[in-house]
Each structure stands twice: as C-alpha cells, then as structure tokens.
Structure 1
Amino acid sequence: MRKAWALLALLGWLCGLAPAIAQVSLPADLTQRELVIGTRVAPPFSMKNAEGAWEGISIDLWRHLAERLGVRYRFEERDTVQALLDAVTTGQVDAAAAALTVTAARRQVMDFTQPFFATGLGVAVGRGGATAWLPVLRTFLSFGFLQGVLTLLGIALLVGTLIWLFERKHHEAYGGPPLRGFIAGAWWSAVAMTQAGAAQDGPRTLPGRILAVIWMVASVVTIAVFIAGITSALTTQRLQGVVRNVGDLRSIRVGAVSGSSTVDFLNAQTVGFESYGLPAQGLRALKAGRIDAFVYDRPLLAWTIQQDFPELEVLPITLDSQNYAIALPQDHPMRVALDVTLLDTLRSEWWTRTRLRYLGNDAAN
C-alpha cells in the first residue's frame, strides 16, 4: 500500500514539474515593453487581408508564440527581403516573421530560431507557348537521338550492301558500276524499312530473298521501337518542362528576386539571371516573354501564380533545399524561449490545422 502511495506521489510531482520545464521565462524588459516584429508581404506566410490586418502561416505562428510567452508586439512592414534583413541586423526590430530562409551568410550576422517549415526553390515557366517547345527541340538535338538515327541508318546501309552483293550478277538493277549497284541496294533497303511503298526491283536470288524477308520483318519491329522511344522521350520532356535540373537553367533566360536566397543559389551554380525587386515583377516579365523561367521559393511561387498568373505554371521539380525560421538580432535574449515554445508548438494540433488552412494538400513538409 505504501509503495502505491509513493508511486502516486511521484507521478503527481512529475506532472507538476512538466509545465515548469515547458515554461521558459523572458527577461523583464521584454515583457514590459512592446516588441517590434518586422515582416513583409510573402503569401501565404505573411500577407494582409481585406481589412489590412496581417495574416498567414508565419504571422499566425508568431501570434501563437507571443501569446504563450506573454509579450506585447506590433508589426512593422518592410518592402523587400533585404530591407527586412537589414532591420534585423541593425536591431530596428526584435524579430522578423515572414518567409525567411536560413542561410550560412545570414547566420553570420543574425540569429534564427529552430526552422518551422522545410521547402525548396521552384521554377515557373509559361504555360505552353514557344518556350514549352524547347524540350522537344532539345530531344531532337540530343546525342541519344542522333545515335539512334545513325544506328538505324547504318543497319539499312548494311542490308542494302548485302542485297547488292547477292544480286549484282543476277539482277540488272544492281549491275554495272559498284556505286550504282550500291545506291540501288541502299534505296531498296530504305524503302523496305520505312514501308513507304511497294519496294521495286526486289531480289531474285535465294540468299537475297531470305535477307529481304528477314529485313522487312525486322524493320517493322525496329521502326516501331524507334517511334515508341521518340514518343516516350518527347512526352517525358513535355511533362518535365523546359527545366529538369539546375544545368538547364544555364541555357535559358532566368529571373530571380534580388537579395533573396535564390540569388545565392544561382550564383553558386554559375547561372546568369535578371534581378527583380518583387516576385510579381519577375512573373510579369516571364508572362511578357522577357525571360524564360523565374526561380523563387516554391510555396510563395505557387501561391502567387495561383492567385494572379494563371498563364504560368510551376514545374514539378524542386531545386536546393530551404528552411524557414524566425530571424532575430544576434544574441537576442528571446532566442531560447522562442526555441522551446516553437518546438513544442510544431508538435501540436494547432500547427497542423494552421498549415492545412493555408496550404491544403501541400501542407506536408
């Protein structure tokens, strides 16, 4: 009986201790003043509703964290990513909540909380149009396609040569000078292979006829396989789009947002690009045909295109990998408390519902 009471007492003590462990206190100066939280328009992570109030995944997350930590705050908007980062590094704001990617360069001049969203870079292109045919052209100019054509041509010439050797003494069409006979054999082989019409001047010798039958049957299969391969390649290319990997970006005109993590990635991959101040500016340039592709954070890109640019589409590829987090000035006293509260929040049903509300089926990350 005593053991049972002792066990119950221990459980009660642990239950009472758990909230104390989860609760991290903030310095008094942070709870007594109004914090300044920088943000910028980056839907669906931070945006303004019809009434002009801020909302979005990052905004709702910050509100949830601030409520749990018991701090007062106000939002201050910045126009660009660089302006928001500058506000953090210079201490103009206590934190920045938007769609900020954690990078090595940024980490040298500011702090970040634990990441709350994992994503990557997306590539936007025109839906159809001339650019969409670049993959098809690339297929016809590829080494694999050329190799297939030359192989098929080589087999046809080999069969034509054998027909000429078999028939040159028994068929006047293949007699005379060697070049004339060779051309006649190659022509008959090509006509028989492509089934372009009834092959004239067919072989008369037994070896020639046996070879002709084998070649006509084999050519049907060969042509069918060749056409199927080309069709599959073209279909795959069209589905994948003008860009399949980062190497394809080097051969087209690319756009990116200046000051974003996309710029760092493109520079590291030696990809040339045109800079734009805002995503919408780059997407308008893409729509107008001044660039062939626009690279930006995938969820932001998909949201903007869905809302305002139905003529564009995001390709089914993801370049690089990115983590979004809340940015803080270096050595900010709120960092530990934010991390503990954030890690607890990311395991909650509230966070699941929040992501589903803004991202729907794309909420998983």
Structure 2
Amino acid sequence: MKRLLLVLFTLFCWSGLFGQASDELPTELKEKLIVATKEAPPFSFKNENDEWVGITIELWEAVAGNLGLRYEYVEYDLADALDAVSKGKADVGAAAISVTADRAKQMDFTHTYYGSALAIATNYQKNDLWTVISQRVFTWTFFRAIFILMLVLLIAGALVWLFERKHNPDHFGGRPLHGLGAAFWWSAVTMTTVGYGDKAPTTAGGRFIGLVWMFTSIIIISGLTGAIATALTVGSLTPRVKGPRDLRNVRVGAIQESVADDYLQSIGVTPQYFNSVREGLQAVSDDSIGAFVHDNAILGYWAGKDFSGSVDVLQNTFEPSYLALAMPIGHHELRPIDIALLEYVQTPAWDALLEKYRAAQ
C-alpha cells in the first residue's frame, strides 16, 4: 500500500512539473500560425523588397505583435485562400476578404475593419460626329436653350425699337411687326459680331441699349462657344458602361469566387475570370472586355497606378461590403485576435495607416 501511494505521489509531482513547463514555454516554441494572403493592393501586396505590406497586413502584424503570436505568410489566389482557411490549413486569412453569408457558413470572421463597395472599371468609346450631334444637340435641353436665346434677342431688340421707332424710322420704323423684326435682326447681328451696318441706333437711349447689348453679347457668345465645344468633346468620348444596369450589355470581367462574381451571377451575368485585378484592367484597357467589377479601393489603386488615362473607375459604387480577417470555425485564437483588432482600430495608429495608403474612410 505504501509503495502504491509513493508511485501515485511521484506521478502527481511529475505531471505537475510537466504541466507547468508546458504553460511556460517560451514564445519562440509556441505554434506558428499560417496566414493566407494574396496580392490585393492597397490591402495586401509585396513591396520592392519582396515583403508583404498593405492595410490588412500591417493591421494583422500590429495585432499579432500585441498578442505575441508567431506566424508566416503563405500566398494563395482568392479561392484557394478561402478554401485553406475553411479547411483549417491556414489559421488566418489576411487580404481584402469580404464578409458574406456564404463564407460565414464555412469560416469565422473577426470584427470588420474596413467598409467598401463594388465599383466598375471601364474604358471609353469614341463616337462619330453625327452621333455626338444627335445625342448632344438635338435634345429638349438644346431647343430650350435656343428658345431662351431667341427671347433674349427679342427683348434687346424691342428695347432699341422703343427708342428708335419715331426718331429713326428708316431703320426701325413702319408697322410694329416690321419695326420689331428689324430690331430683332439688329440684335442678332450685333450679338454674333457680324456687323453688317444696315441697322444702327441713333438716339442716346438706343445707343446706350446697344452698348450694353454689345458687352452682354460677348459674354453670351463666349459661354455658348465653350459649352458647345465641351459638349462635343465630352460627347465624342463616352464610357462603355455607365452603371450596373449596363453590365448585361457588355463583356464583363471579375475574379472567381469574389464578391463581384457573386453579384454578377445574381443579376444573370456570367463574367470572364481573371487571376488578378491588374489582368482584368489590362483587358479593359485593351478593349477585350467592356467592364471589370471589383472592390472600389482596389480598382482605384490599380487604375491610378498603371492605367491612368486608359481605364476609368466609375464614381457610383454599389453592393456595400465589409472586410475582416478570416479564421477557421472555432479557432482558439479568434477571440483574443478579435479583441486586439478592435483595440487597434480605435487608435490614432489606424487612422495614420489608412492615410498612409490613401484609403481614409
């Protein structure tokens, strides 16, 4: 009996020592987390030193540093990164990963840290002159402007006629309709600076009205010339896609299993898939496709960096989305990482990070 108690006591002591030792393992011996990421500037990308940087990467590194976590990055494409996280092959997904209902069924997410939306990148098509004229000139707005101009010409002419009809009958006399017609002709000739000289006021009042009308005409003609030139120039280059409704009428690109892919499928559009945003924008620039749909911030980054002047990102965004870190369901580090993330995004360092990558919300 004494021998049995001695054996049990010895086992108890050893178990306590080993338990204490395992709890006090130094940080460098703890488990190294696998962080799945991908190229998605400005959230995650490699710099010139082949180091991972970006909003999400630096957010993760701040969280990991706060918790003393060891990790290594493994690069995937989007579909493989999500698959690795959902199957537990990766401990964290750190890129531009949006939270969706379908993804939430397969993995857990931390609190969201960035709100974004989908946007459309497209190019411009050049219209022929007659198309521009029909679209810009023969419109209700154009004819309304002509009507207002005629009314202004008539008012200017009528004022001159009131002063000149009795004192200058050779130019503005006769029956009222004839005199007003002559005055209208004079105001039109004066405004267009043609200056035939066949009609001219002679009274002090008429000449004063004429002087005012000359300066007014300069302003009107300058404004009309600029407006017409702008309308014809802008009208000759129009975006192939003006909004989500036009996506059914052109070839559209997206990244497979992205939020944009889900959206396009939901509206009955089957996109052409590309491996990266840059490849998709290159296809838009080459006119291989009419539009590429992706996250607004990422499209803006690449379009401004490599496709300025050849690709335009439309300002009207749609389908709001929220980015978060992805983790396997029930991962033991989820809660501490979530708390550390929330603490970090409430500090000035987070605002500075967004400003660094020009992504301030």
Q: Distance in 2 between matches of 1:336 and 1:249?
A: 41
Match of 1:66 in 2: 64
Q: CA deviation at 1:333?
A: 4.4
Equivalent position amino acid for 2:41 in 1: P
Q: CA deviation at 1:363?
A: 5.2
Question: Which of the numbers 73, 90, 93 marks the counterpart of 1:96?
Answer: 93
Tell me, yes or no, if the aligned pair for 1:246 and 1:319 is still in contact at 8 Å. Answer: no
Q: Deviations over 1:112-153 (max 9, x none)?
A: 212223444566566x9959x9xx987667654543233113
Residues 290 and 183 (structure 1), Cα distance of their counterparts in 2 relative to 1, 3 Å cut: farther
Q: CA deviation at 1:35?
A: 3.9
Residues 264 and 113 (structure 1), Cα distance of their counterparts in 2 relative to 1, 3 Å cut: same
Rg larger in 1 or in 2? 2
Match of 1:221 in 2: 216
Q: Distance in 2 between matches of 1:123 and 1:230?
A: 33
Q: TM-score, normalised by structure 1?
A: 0.61
Aligned to 1:37, the other structure's residue is in SS state: strand
Q: CA deviation at 1:53?
A: 4.9
Q: Distance in 2 between matches of 1:300 and 1:100?
A: 12
Matches within 5 A, 1:230-249: 231=226, 234=230, 247=243
Matches within 5 A, 1:203-222: 214=209, 217-218=212-213, 220-221=215-216
Equivalent position amino acid for 2:338 in 1: D
Question: Which of the numbers 109, 113, 118 marks the counterpart of 2:110?
Answer: 113
Residues 71 and 273 (structure 1), Cα distance of their counterparts in 2 relative to 1, 3 Å cut: same
- What is the aligned-residue RMSD (CA, Å)? 5.2
Q: Does 1:309 align with 2:307?
A: yes
Q: Distance in 2 between matches of 1:273 and 1:196?
A: 59
Residues 142 and 102 (structure 1), Cα distance of their counterparts in 2 relative to 1, 3 Å cut: farther
Residues 217 and 97 (structure 1), Cα distance of their counterparts in 2 relative to 1, 3 Å cut: same
Tell me, yes or no, if the aligned pair for 1:121 and 1:318 is still in contact at 8 Å. Answer: no
Residues 73 and 250 (structure 1), Cα distance of their counterparts in 2 relative to 1, 3 Å cut: same
Provide structure 1 residue ranges, at least 5 long, that are not aligned to the other structure.
1-24, 26-30
Q: Distance in 2 between matches of 1:175 and 1:267?
A: 74
Match of 2:358 in 1: 362
Tell me, yes or no, if the aligned pair for 1:88 and 1:95 is still in contact at 8 Å. Answer: yes
Provide structure 2 residue ranges, at least 5 long, that are not aligned to the other structure.
1-22, 24-28
Q: Does 1:41 align with 2:36?
A: no
Aligned to 2:335, the other structure's residue is in SS state: helix
Match of 1:279 in 2: 277
Q: Does 1:156 align with 2:153?
A: yes
Matches within 5 A, 1:327-342: 327-342=326-341
Q: Distance in 2 between matches of 1:197 and 1:271?
A: 62
Q: CA deviation at 1:99?
A: 0.9
Equivalent position amino acid for 2:150 in 1: L
Q: Single out whichever of 33-42 and 289-298 deviates more from structure 2.
A: 289-298
Residues 151 and 50 (structure 1), Cα distance of their counterparts in 2 relative to 1, 3 Å cut: closer
Q: TM-score, normalised by structure 2?
A: 0.62
Q: CA deviation at 1:232?
A: 7.6
Tell me, yes or no, if the aligned pair for 2:242 and 2:314 is still in contact at 8 Å. Answer: no
Q: CA deviation at 1:362?
A: 1.6
Q: Deviations over 1:312-346 (max 9, x none)?
A: 46669462454321123445444322210111222
Q: Percent identity?
A: 29
Residues 218 and 271 (structure 1), Cα distance of their counterparts in 2 relative to 1, 3 Å cut: farther
Match of 1:191 in 2: 189
Q: Deviations over 1:13-60 (max 9, x none)?
A: xxxxxxxxxxxx9xxxxx975544322111232223556554433233
